[in-house]
Amino acid sequence: MKSLFFLVIIHSLYGNIQAKKFSVLRISPSTRADVEFLQEIRTKDHDLDFWKGPTEVNREVHLMVDEAQKAYIERTLERHNINHTIMIPDVERVIVEQKKKRAKLNSELRLRDWRDGKINFNLAQYHSFADVINYLNALAVTYPELVSVQPIGTTHEGRQIPLIKVTNKRLQSGNKKAVWVDGGIHAREWVSPSTVLYFIHTLITQYDKDPKIRQYVDSMDWYLVPLLNPDGYEYSRSSTNPEIRLWRKNRSPTKCIQVASGPFTPPQQQCCQGVDLNRNFDWFFGQVGSSTDPCSEIYQGGFAFSEPETRAVRDFLAQHRITTFITLHSYSQILMYPFGHQVRTYSNDLNDLHATATNAANALRSMYGTQYRVGTGADTLYPASGGSEDWAKGKAHVKYSYLFELRPEEQVWDGFLLAENQILPTARETWEAVKVIADQSLRLQ
Ligand code: ARG
Ligand code: ZN
């Protein structure tokens, strides 16, 4: 008995020593020099996880740090007179609390899928990869005239990436417009797969009820991939440890690099897993806003399309004529169009892309008042090469290519840890924007 008691004490002490505590700092650069200083930190220190990177004067920066990093960063900020507050004092506590809350969910927010009571899937919750697969398969069985499910690739860990096609199969036509929607390219951005699932649900269950949806499903092919990065997603679900819940990349095998040595220290190896899939597309690959360091959050991979997930997108788009490419991320509330690899770089149909984005953002706002900014990724956030929306426009020649950074906005404190009661409002308002983009595609010759 006594020894058990000691064991418990030792175990909890050990646990305290082992578990890293993470917090998120809210940093407010007030001069151009502040912004540039933070940008320099971001490019130099690849271990830092900027939830929201530095972009412009007076725009908040969110930075997740462990305790050692926190002490060092706070000292540095104070030395440079850059204001900051603590946005999340203990990230893991928030993750654990939200997990508890999930059990007693507001039943009003539940939205079910059914036909003859066959499918029971709560769209107001975050789901496992297995549950998503089962849901998609149930839709294919229940609505065979509208739905087919197929894998478009296999990940490093052997998961099949599912794509669901929604169209009225009885109306065959060679020139249906085709829309691509993907979610979950970044593992921790959980609201994005949930939003794609809501789109799927809406297209299928509103077919008989809403003439506009009927038009979409009759005259367009909808290709939806709710979980483009299932390995990363499952990893991010596997623990409340912030280093795991806030995983961004895929789960590609470990790669090592030599790190610079000091005069008395031998060169050391640093080994890490995962490629940032949204740096791995063949569009100015390896240039600004991506990294060759496997331990970086924005590690670009060995070469363009080195990853099975990005190759799956490339190969699918090579075989299908896609008019509209939509990719969902979180967070910041921005609707982006190409090109994001460097500032002030646009396609020659900029006016059309911009006007459509503005109309889409207005439609989105009309639902709950949610404000979006509109522009290229480089102009609104930061330049990043190798992004999918750029590649889709520049290399795959998709006419309308958009990236959504979904809720929350920057003043909200929870960032990637968006509460489940936000899923349906987020999905509903985003669908209003997607409809505007789809309507625009229907107008093409
Ligand atoms: N948060 C996204 C990312 O880091 C934004 C990318 C925007 N696209 C771009 N090409 N800059 O992947
Ligand atoms: Zn993202």
Longest Cα–Cα distance in the chain: 81
Residue 258 confidence (pLDDT): 84
Q: Which atom of ligand 1 is nearest to the CA of 341?
A: 10
**Alpha carbons 186 and 410: distance in angstroms, whole number:** 18
Q: Which token pair is 105?
A: 């969910």
Q: Are 54 and 82 in contact, with CB atoms under 8 Å apart?
A: no
- Ligand 1 atom 7, closest CA: 377
Residue 175 confidence (pLDDT): 82
How many angstroms separate the alpha carbon of residue 50 from the centre of ligand 1? Answer: 13
- Tell me 346's DSSP state: -
Residue 198 confidence (pLDDT): 96
Catalytic, 405? Answer yes
Q: How many CA atoms lie within 13 A of 107 on its CB side?
A: 0
Instruction: Report which residue type is found at 178.
Output: A
- Ligand 1 atom 5, closest CA: 377
For residue 183, give the nearest of 143, 136, 146, 142 by alpha carbon. Answer: 136
Q: Are 320 and 387 in contact, with CB atoms under 8 Å apart?
A: no
How many angstroms separate the alpha carbon of residue 400 from the centre of ligand 1? Answer: 17
- Ligand 1 atom 9, closest CA: 340
**Alpha carbons 332 and 54: distance in angstroms, whole number:** 13
Task: Give the active site residue among 234, 405, 420, 429.
Answer: 405
Pocket of ligand 1 (CB under 6 A): 278, 329, 336, 340-341, 377-378, 381, 383-384, 387, 390, 403
- Tell me 416's DSSP state: T
ipTM over 0.95: yes
How many angstroms separate the alpha carbon of residue 382 from the centre of ligand 1? Answer: 7
Q: Are 332 and 370 in contact, with CB atoms under 8 Å apart?
A: no
How many angstroms separate the alpha carbon of residue 189 from the centre of ligand 2? Answer: 6
Task: Give the residues across from 373 on adjacent strands.
Answer: 334
**Alpha carbons 289 and 42: distance in angstroms, whole number:** 10
Helices marked H in 19-120 — which ranges? 32-44, 67-79, 91-103
Tens of pLDDT along the chain (445 residues)? 445 444 444 444 444 446 799 999 999 999 999 999 999 998 887 789 999 999 999 999 999 999 999 999 999 999 999 999 999 999 999 999 888 877 555 444 456 666 656 688 899 999 999 999 999 999 999 999 999 999 999 999 999 999 999 999 999 877 899 999 999 999 999 999 999 999 999 999 999 999 999 999 999 999 999 999 999 999 999 999 999 999 999 999 999 988 777 777 777 888 999 999 999 999 999 999 999 999 999 999 999 999 999 999 999 999 999 999 999 999 999 999 999 999 999 999 999 999 999 999 999 999 999 999 999 999 999 999 999 999 999 999 999 999 999 999 877 778 999 999 999 999 999 999 999 999 999 999 8
- What's the whole-model pTM score? 0.91
